[in-house]
Structures are given as C-alpha cells and as structure tokens.
C-alpha cells in the first residue's frame, strides 16, 4: 500500500510520465494492430455501366480493378470485375462482395457508359457516382457503342500490350478534338445550365483487331523495371478512336458528331489548336488550280452581344492562324517562296469565305438540335437580363432561342 502511494506521488509530481504512459498505451494499441487500408479497398481505375439484356431495370457494372501481387518487379495486374444489380449502388455492392473488399473510387480515371443509356436521360444512372464524394467529378466520361465491359477489357488489353494508355487518348481528344473536357462535371454543368446541352466523348470498339489502337500481336508480359502490366484479358476487340462525340440534350443523345462536325463547332466555342482548312481549285499568282491545305495553328473567337429591337445579335470576331502545309497542283513547279508566308489577298479571301461557311455549318448543327453548346444564353443574359427575358417570352418555343439569334461572323485570317 505504501509502495502504491509512493508511485502515485511520483506520478502526480511529474505528470509527464503519466501523459507519456497514456499516449503510448492509447496510441500504441491503436497503431500496432491497424492494417493498411490498401489491403481493405479494391483500387478501381475505370467503371463501366451497361444495361442488362432483357431487363428494364437491371444494371451491369464493370470495374477495372488493380490486383496487388506479392512480387518485387512492380508490374501492374488488372482485372475486370462484373456485377449485376437493380441499381448501380447495388451492383457495386455485389462487386465488392465478389472481390472480398470495399470498393474505392478515388483513383477512377474514366467512366464508360453504353450508348443505350443516352437514348434516355443518362444522368439517372450516374446519380450514385455523383453523390460519392470519393469519385472526382473530373473523371472522364466516355460513351461507347459496344458493351462497357468489353470496352474495359479492351482498355486492359491496350495497357498490357503497349505503353499507350486510354488516359492519353482521352487527353488527346480533350485537347485537340473537343477543345474541352468530357467529364462528369462538364456533363452536369451542361445538364443544369440554361441550354441543358453537353458533349460527351465517343470511342468505339472495333471487332477487327487490325483496326483501332493496337501495337504488337504477341501477348507480352510486363517486364521488371518497366511499368508494364500483366493481362488476363480475353478481349479481341480494339479501341477505335476517330474523334467522335455525342451531342446530348437533357442527358439524351441528340446527334452523333464526327471530328469534322466538331471542328465546325469548335470555331464557335473558343480557342482550339487542331484542324485544317482546304481550298479547292485555287488560282493566284503562285498557284494554278491547286488544292491548298492550311493547318490551323490557333483560333480565337471574341463574341460581342447586343440587343436591337429586342432581338439579340451576336457579333463574332474569329481570328484564325494558319499555315500552308500542302499544295497539290498537277504541274507544280518548285517555287522559291513555297511556304507562302505572305498570303495573297485572294488566298485570304478564299480562306475567310471557307471559315465562314464552316462556322455556318457548325451553327446549323447546333440550331437544328437546339443545343447551345457555345453558351450564348449566358452572354446575352449577363449583358441585359431584362431584354433577354423579354426576348424569350416573345418566342413560341423558349428553348428554340438559338434559331432566332442573329449571328454576324467576321473571320480574320493570319499567317502564323
């Protein structure tokens, strides 16, 4: 008893011992037994959503999951896990059950949705994923004509056979084809915006293994020291990227746009850095009946809006920087000034005419489908909300405002 009293006296005299003891006991016991979270969660890098055949409600989820392997060579092994359920969240639960781990969405890069979902409001299926805070809204959204699970298997095959990653393809598309990103965020921004329109990237799958993005025919294994990956994929389909997009309104696909259509629309959207303009049968001092191809280095648009007699007018100044990259002429002689730095006035006029016609075609696409991808509504509303509201009220169909806006396009061509 006296000894206990002595110990208590020491402890109260120097509480640091008590505190240290408490800290080590509490924190030590928590930390000694805690296992790494990596071993409790399945690391998913891509999600696919498909409709189940012969079923109205059922959904099939495919998860491209990383499978850790105890080895020293640091190769990546992926597996596509499929699960069905009445809803996306249920299907993901079942997927987790089959993996024996919880599903973690923190590393998801792409979300693949079968095109069937875009025949109706696709946002209904994405609802679960949007509410999960771990899934970044900067996750790329891809629409595909094949099954999403097959797409993921093709992605897995692509990863295993080459160093081309699906992320690189999507990034390329974002930068050079869409001039914007096709992500969950942009999809919802379009959906909840005044135009209710959005663009979603489209990547097809090809049955023919000679087409699409392939590298070598052998089923190579990853080597130590490289970040190659092992594959257990059975897919014979390959990814075929042709720069397509789907134009959606209220989450539903309105039109399938090819890369040429995108180029036309991109002139109106803002800046972009890919594309070319071709002039046929051109003649001037240098060329005679030539087919000239100009590469677009950069393009900018400056939109100025105003209201005249309650009708909105958009003056669009489009600056395009071009460079001659190809001249096809039957009897082409080698000229000194073949790079055509100082373009003739005729060439400039021809280019301006061509750009104007391209932009008009792009505008027609948007008008036909009542999709204000270029967000003219916001510009007009912010300029004069009352005038805009009056204008909308004056229309029979408020959503058809794009057809009643006057666009005055003034292209300016510059040589880069």
Partner 1 sequence: MIFLNVDKKIKTIKKQLHNSFDVADRIVEVGEVKVGFIYLKSFTDNLIFSSAIYEPISNFHGKLDFETIKQLIQANDTKEIEEKDVLNNILKGAVVVFLSSSTKMLAVDIQKFTTRTPTEPPTSPVIQGPREGFTEDIKTNIGLLRKRFYSADLVLKNLSVGRKTKTTIVIAYLDSVVSKKVVKEVEKRIKSIDIDGVVDSYYLMPYLISRPNSLFKQVGNTEKPDIVSAKLLEGRVAILVDNSPMVLTVPFVLLEELQNPNDYYTNYIYASLLRFVRLIGVFLALLGPGIYIALQLYHYNVLPIKYLITIADSTQQIPFTPFIEILFISLLFQILYEVSLRLPSYLGLATSVVGALILGDTGVKAGLISPPAVIVVAIAKIALYTIPEQSAQITVLQFFFLLIGASVGLLGIIGGSIYLIAYLNSLENYHTPYLAPFSPFILKDNKDGLIRTTLSNMKERPYSFNNQNHRRQK
Partner 2 sequence: MKDRTINIWQAGILLFIIIFANKILVLPSLLYSGANIEGMFCYLISFLLEIGLITLFIFLKRKYPTYSFSKLVKEKLGVITLKIVYVLIAFFFFCKLILIYNVTYIFFKDLIYKSSGNFLFLICLLPIVNYLAVCDLRSFGRTVQLFFPIIFIILLFCVITSFIGIEGMPLFFQSNVSDVFLTTIKHTTAFGDVIFLFLFMDKIEYKKGDGKKLFFLATFAMTFVCMIMLAFYFSYTYTSFMHPYAIFEILGKVKDYGGLGRIDVVAVILVMILTYLQMGIYLKCFTLSFHVVFPKLSDAYALTTFNGVFLILVFLLIRNLERTITYGENFLPYLSLISFVLIPLCVIVFLVMRRKKNGKD
Compute how many other C-beta atoms are within 10 angstroms of the C-beta atom of residue 43: 19
Of partner 2, partner 1, none, which one sits near residue 35, judging by CB under 5 to 8 A according to partner kind?
A: partner 1
Sign of CA dihedral 273, 276, 282, 285: positive
Helix (H, G, I), strand (E, B) or coil at 350: helix
Sign of CA dihedral 53, 137, 181, 385: positive
Q: What angle do CA 348, 352, 357 make, to 5 degrees?
A: 150
Structure tokens at 41: 């969660």
Which of 67, 137, 164, 254 binds partner 2 (CB under 8 A)? It is 137
Q: Which is nearer to partner 1, 24 or 311 (CB)?
A: 24
Q: Which is nearer to partner 2, 315 or 378 (CB)?
A: 378
How far the first Cα of the chain sits from its last, in Å, is 94
Contact string 10-29 vs partner 2 (x = CB under 8 A): ----------------xx--
Taking CB under 8 A as the binding criterion, the range among 99-107, 247-255, 283-291, 320-328 that sits at the site for partner 1 is: 99-107
Instruction: Give, for 104, the enclosing helix (H) or strand (E).
Output: strand 102-104
How far is the C-alpha of 161 from the C-alpha of 416, rounded, in Å? 39
**Tell me, what DSSP letter sits at residue 226?**
T
Helix (H, G, I), strand (E, B) or coil at 164: coil
273 binds partner 2 per the rule CB under 8 A? no
Q: Which is nearer to partner 2, 171 or 242 (CB)?
A: 171
Taking CB under 8 A as the binding criterion, the range among 18-26, 121-129, 368-376, 406-414 that sits at the site for partner 1 is: 18-26
Q: What's the closest the beta carbon of residue 102 comes to partner 2, in angstroms? A: 8
Contact string 364-393 vs partner 2 (x = CB under 8 A): -----------x--xx-xx--x--------
Of partner 2, partner 1, none, which one sits near residue 385, judging by CB under 5 to 8 A according to partner kind?
A: partner 2
180 binds partner 2 per the rule CB under 8 A? yes
9 binds partner 1 per the rule CB under 8 A? no
How far is the C-alpha of 193 from the C-alpha of 146, rounded, in Å? 29
How far is the C-alpha of 194 from the C-alpha of 402, rounded, in Å? 12
How far is the C-alpha of 147 from the C-alpha of 62, rounded, in Å? 10
163 binds partner 2 per the rule CB under 8 A? no
35 binds partner 1 per the rule CB under 8 A? yes
Q: Helix H segments across 34-145? A: 88-99, 123-131
How far is the C-alpha of 189 from the C-alpha of 211, rounded, in Å? 35
Dihedral pair phi/psi, residue 70, rounded to 5°: -75, 100
* Binding residues among 85-104 for partner 2 as defined by CB under 8 A: 102, 104
Q: Which is nearer to partner 1, 68 or 385 (CB)?
A: 68
Contact string 113-152 vs partner 1 (x = CB under 8 A): ---------------------x------------------
Chain residues binding partner 1 by CB under 8 A are 14, 16, 23-24, 26-28, 30-39, 41, 43, 45, 66, 68-72, 74-76, 104, 106-107, 134, 227
Give the residues lining the site for partner 2 (CB under 8 A).
26-27, 30, 37, 40-41, 102, 104, 106, 130, 133-134, 136-138, 180, 185, 188-189, 192-194, 375, 378-379, 381-382, 385
């Amino acid at each position: 008893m006296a000894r206990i009293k002595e110990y208590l006296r020491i402890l109260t005299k120097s509480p640091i011992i008590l505190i240290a003891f408490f800290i080590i006991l509490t924190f030590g016991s928590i930390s000694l037994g805690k296992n790494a979270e990596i071993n409790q969660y399945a690391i998913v890098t891509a999600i696919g959503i498909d409709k189940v055949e012969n079923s109205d409600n059922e959904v099939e989820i495919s998860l491209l999951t990383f499978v850790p392997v105890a080895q020293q060579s640091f190769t990546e092994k992926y597996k596509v896990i499929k699960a069905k359920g009445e809803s996306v969240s249920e299907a993901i639960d079942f997927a987790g059950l089959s993996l024996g781990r919880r599903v973690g969405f923190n590393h998801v890069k792409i979300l693949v949705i079968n095109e069937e979902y875009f025949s109706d409001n696709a946002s209904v299926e994405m609802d679960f994923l949007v509410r999960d805070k771990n899934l970044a809204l900067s996750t790329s959204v891809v629409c595909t004509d094949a099954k999403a699970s097959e797409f993921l298997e093709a992605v897995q095959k692509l990863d295993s056979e080459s160093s081309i990653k699906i992320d690189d393809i999507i990034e390329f598309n974002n930068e050079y084809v869409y001039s914007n990103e096709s992500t969950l965020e942009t999809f919802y921004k379009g959906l909840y915006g005044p135009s209710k329109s959005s663009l979603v990237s489209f990547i097809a799958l090809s049955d023919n293994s000679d087409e699409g993005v392939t590298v070598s025919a052998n089923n190579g294994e990853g080597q130590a020291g490289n970040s190659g990956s092992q594959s257990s994929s059975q897919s014979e389909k390959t990814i075929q990227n042709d720069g397509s997009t789907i134009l959606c309104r209220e989450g539903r696909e309105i039109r399938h746009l090819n890369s040429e259509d995108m180029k036309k629309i991109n002139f109106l959207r803002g800046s972009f850095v890919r594309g070319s303009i071709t002039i046929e049968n051109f003649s001037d001092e240098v060329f005679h009946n030539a087919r000239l191809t100009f590469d677009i280095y950069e393009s900018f648009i400056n939109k100025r809006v105003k209201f005249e007699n309650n009708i909105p007018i958009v003056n669009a100044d489009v600056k395009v920087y071009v460079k001659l990259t190809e001249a096809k002429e039957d009897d082409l002689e080698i000229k000194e000034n073949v790079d055509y730095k100082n373009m003739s006035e005729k060439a400039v006029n021809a280019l301006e005419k061509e750009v104007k016609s391209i932009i008009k075609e792009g505008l027609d696409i948007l008008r036909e489908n009542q999709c204000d991808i270029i967000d003219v509504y916001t510009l007009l509303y912010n300029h004069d909300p009352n005038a805009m509201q009056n204008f909308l009220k004056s229309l029979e169909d408020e959503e058809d405002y794009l057809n009643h806006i006057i666009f005055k396009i003034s292209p300016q061509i510059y040589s880069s």
